[in-house]
Amino acid sequence: MQSVSLDRAGIVGALDTETTPAGGIVLRRLPDWTRHQILDESLPLLATMPAGVRLELVTDTTALELDVHLTVLQLGDGPVVPAAFDLVVGAGDGAGGDVRTQSSDEGTRIVVDLRTGSVDFQPGGPTTIRFDGLPGIAGTRIEVWLPHAAVVELRDVRIDDGATATPAAAAPNGERRRWIHHGSSISHCMEATQPTGTWPAVTARLADVDLQNLAFAGQCLLDQHVARTIRDLPADVISIKCGINVVNGDSMRERTFVPAVHGFLDTVRDGHPATPIAVVTPIFCPSVEDHPGPTVMGEDGTFGTVDRPAELATGSLSLRRIRELLHTIVESRRAQGDTNLHLLDGLELFGADDVDDLPDLLHPNPAGYRRMGERFHAMAFAPGGPLAAAD
């Protein structure tokens, strides 16, 4: 087989790369200039988990190989979370494309103690992911969705000897409308079993749009470096699903949350004065619907709250209050003429009736995420929705 140079591999959804000593690249979902603004130790790792990142190629190969070095997660005494690669043949046909999955649990392991938060790195080696049985027909568009919950060092991409591969964006009609989404773990979807099973990916494939996923587990806190990243990127539509991480960490009060949301939107609007933006309120989370955070994991693996002194109650935020504040913020901006700003109800994406698919009482399971993607497509991208293509 012959190698395809990594700069011709049609990488979509990564905003930065790190070259490794082995000659590979690690894909990063935030631009280089954000590095010095990040304090939390987990965000640099989360930014290198390529949720929504994929290779998009037009090729006549019958087989595709990826040499990768994976960094996979092991949570407590549980099994290693396999890194899944999804190959979509006939991409661009909405959800009707043929999806094939290959998974691996080889590579470096990050073992996380769920009780203490301590982390142990266990080194491992590279592996090869191979897909056979591709059509081998000129003009075939394929996508390889990279693992959303593992770090991927991409070392080589190979196709058949004599075959050709061209980045899909360079092909005729290769460009699609670009959707940027920012959110929390509930948009990062680390509980999904495959990268096309995250709800933003489900929506993107149904709507046939180019997804830029800026969701980072535990890190949707209205950071200005994320707002400026969105401001500076091309976008046809934008969505921001915020609130749960503010409650999870008890990181803001009403006094700080409201101006932080306004400031985030103001920064995005500096670069996208008329782009349709959907602000999505939090989905259902039983422990903090009417009780402020922080949330903690109990011995049974579910999330709940802790008792706090009464004097800390002033201005504290529950999900119900956050939804009320987001409604007020969006309506006030629309009253000032921001008619392309829209509010979508997260409880319509995943509400109390869906709790059976909320096993840890915070994160949906794979079935829940897929249903969220289908619902968001219907709410936002279907004809008449706020992010739908213009007629």
pLDDT for the residue 93? 46
pLDDT for the residue 170: 62
Instruction: Say yes or no to pLDDT of 34 above 80.
Output: yes
- Report yes or no: 50 and 148 within 8 Å, Cβ to Cβ: yes
pLDDT at 94 over 50: no
Percent of the chain with pLDDT over 70: 96
Instruction: Determine the 3-state secondary structure of 85 from DSSP.
Output: strand
Cα-based distances in Å from 169 to 55, 128, 172, 317, 354: 11, 26, 8, 43, 38
Helix, strand or coil, per DSSP, at residue 169: helix
Sequential DSSP letters for 173-202: T----EEEEEE-HHHH-TTSSSGGGSHHHH
Decide which of 142 and 311 is more confident. 142
Q: What number is the average pLDDT over the span 365-369?
A: 98
The pLDDT of residue 39: 85
- Please report the pLDDT score of residue 174 as a whole number: 57
Selected residue with higher pLDDT from 168 and 199:
199
CA gap 145, 202 in Å, rounded: 12
Q: Tell me the pairing of strands 140-145 and 83-89.
A: antiparallel
Tell me what pLDDT residue 391 has. Answer: 67
Asked whether the beta carbons of 229 and 180 are under 8 A apart, the reply is no
Percentage of the chain exceeding pLDDT 90 = 81
Query: What per-residue confidence (pLDDT) applies to 50?
Result: 97
Amino acid at 135: P
- What are 251-285's pLDDT values in tens digits? 999 999 999 999 999 999 999 999 999 999 999 99
Contacting residues for 172 by C-beta, under 8 A, at least 6 apart: none
Measured CA distances, 324 to 68, 195, 317, 319, 331 (Å): 46, 32, 11, 9, 11
Residue 301 has pLDDT above 50, yes or no: yes
Domains of the chain: 6-175 (2.60.120.260), 176-391 (3.40.50.1110)
Q: What pLDDT score was predicted for residue 302?
A: 86
CB 161 within 8 A of CB 62: no
Residue 183 pLDDT exceeds 80 = yes
Residue identified by tokens 């000897």 is: 161
167 forms beta bridges with 57
* Residue whose structure tokens are 């903090």: 288
Q: Find the farthest-apart pair of alpha carbons in the chain and give their distance in angstroms, rounded.
A: 72
DSSP 272-334: -SS--EEEE-----GGGSSS---EEE-TTS-EEE----GGG-TT---HHHHHHHHHHHHHHHH
**How does residue 141 score in pLDDT terms, banded at 50, 70 and 90?**
very high
Among 146, 149, 124, which residue's Cα sits nearest to residue 45?
149
Residue 76 DSSP symbol: T
Mean pLDDT within 57-80: 91
Instruction: Assess whether pLDDT exceeds 90 at residue 31.
Output: yes
Long-range contacts of 331-337 (CB under 8 A, 24+ apart): 333/262, 333/265
pLDDT band at 315 (very low <50, low <70, confident <90, very high): confident
* β-pair type (63-75, 303-305): unpaired
Taking the C-alpha atoms of residue 141 and residue 168, their distance in angstroms, rounded to an integer, is 7
